[in-house]
Amino acid sequence: MFDVLYSSFPYLMKGAVYTAWMSVVTIIAGSLLGVILGIFVIYGPTALRRIITGYVFVIRGIPILVLMFLTYYALPALGVNIGDYVTVCGALVIYCGAYVTEITRGAILAVPRTQFDAAKGVGMRLSQYLRLVIFPQAARMSIPPMLNNCIMMVKSTAYVSIVGVWELSYAAREVAERTLSPFQVFFGAMIIYFAICYPMAIVAQRLEKKTAYSH
C-alpha cells in the first residue's frame, strides 16, 4: 500500500535536508536580527525606533510569499545576483526578524517597571540593569513564543517551492506528479515536517503551562 512512499522516501529525505538547512540558517539569522532590533526598538534613539516599527508593521502585514516573489524578481533586476537559495533565505530572514522583534519587545516590556526602580535603587547602571535584570527574565519568557516562531519558519520554508526553489515540498510535488499517488507522497512529506515541528511544539506547550502556573 505504501510502496510508492517507500521507494521515494530517500528522494524526499534529500529534500528534507535542504529544508532543514534552510530552516536552521534562517531561524538563527532571523532571530539574531530580531533580538537586536527588539532591543533597539525599546532603548534605541527615536529615529531608529520609528524605522524599526515601520519595518515590523510592513513585513507583518504582507504574506511571506509576496515578499519572496518581490526579492526573487527584484534583486536580479537591481543587479544583485546571489542565487535562488540565498535570495529566498534572505526573504525568510527578513520575515522572521520582524516577528522576533515583536517577541523580544513584548518580553522586555513584560518585565515589571518596579524592577527598574529597584535596580536604580541599588545603584545599577543601565547596562548592568539590562544584563543582570532584564535579559535573564525576558529570555526565559520569550522561549515559548520563539519556539512557536521556529515552527512557523519551518513551515514557511515550504513556500519557497512556489517560487521554484527545490526543497522537500518541491520534491514531494515532483514525485506526486510522476507517480500519481499524491496521498502517499504528501503524507510522507507531512510526516517529515511533523517530525521536525512537533518536538518544538511539545516543548513550547510544556513551558507555556509552567509559566502559566507560576503566576
Q: Which residues of the shown chain bind another protein in the complex (CB under 8 A)? A: 58, 60-67, 69-70, 73-74, 76-78, 151, 155-156, 158-159, 161-162, 169, 172-173, 176, 182-183, 186-187, 189-190, 193-194, 197-198, 201
CB of 136 to another protein, least distance (A): 27
CB of 158 to another protein, least distance (A): 4
Least gap, CB of 143 to another protein (angstroms): 18
- Taking the complex as a whole, the smallest distance from the CB of residue 37 to another protein amounts, in Å, to 19
Nearer to another protein, 47 or 78 (CB): 78
Nearer to another protein, 142 or 170 (CB): 170
Closer residue to another protein in complex, CB, 26/169: 169
Judged by CB, which is closer to another protein: 133, or 174?
174
Nearer to another protein among residue 43 and residue 187 (C-beta): 187
Least distance from another protein to the Cβ atom of residue 66, Å: 5
Cα four-point dihedral sign 105, 108, 112, 118? negative
Nearer to another protein, 95 or 119 (CB): 95
Minimum gap (Å) between residue 121 Cβ and another protein: 34
SS3 per residue for the chain: CCHHHHHHHHHHHHHHHHHHHHHHHHHHHHHHHHHHHHHHHHHCCHHHHHHHHHHHHHHHHCCHHHHHHHHHHHHHHCCCCCCHHHHHHHHHHHHHHHHHHHHHHHHHHHCCCHHHHHHHHCCCCHHHHHHHHHHHHHHHHHHHHHHHHHHHHHHHHCCHHHHCCCCHHHHHHHHHHHHCCHHHHHHHHHHHHHHHHHHHHHHHHHHHHHHHHHC
Q: Which letter, b or e, does each residue of 62-85 get, where b requires 16 or more Cβ atoms within 10 Å of its Cβ?
A: eebeebbeebbeebeeeeeeeeeb
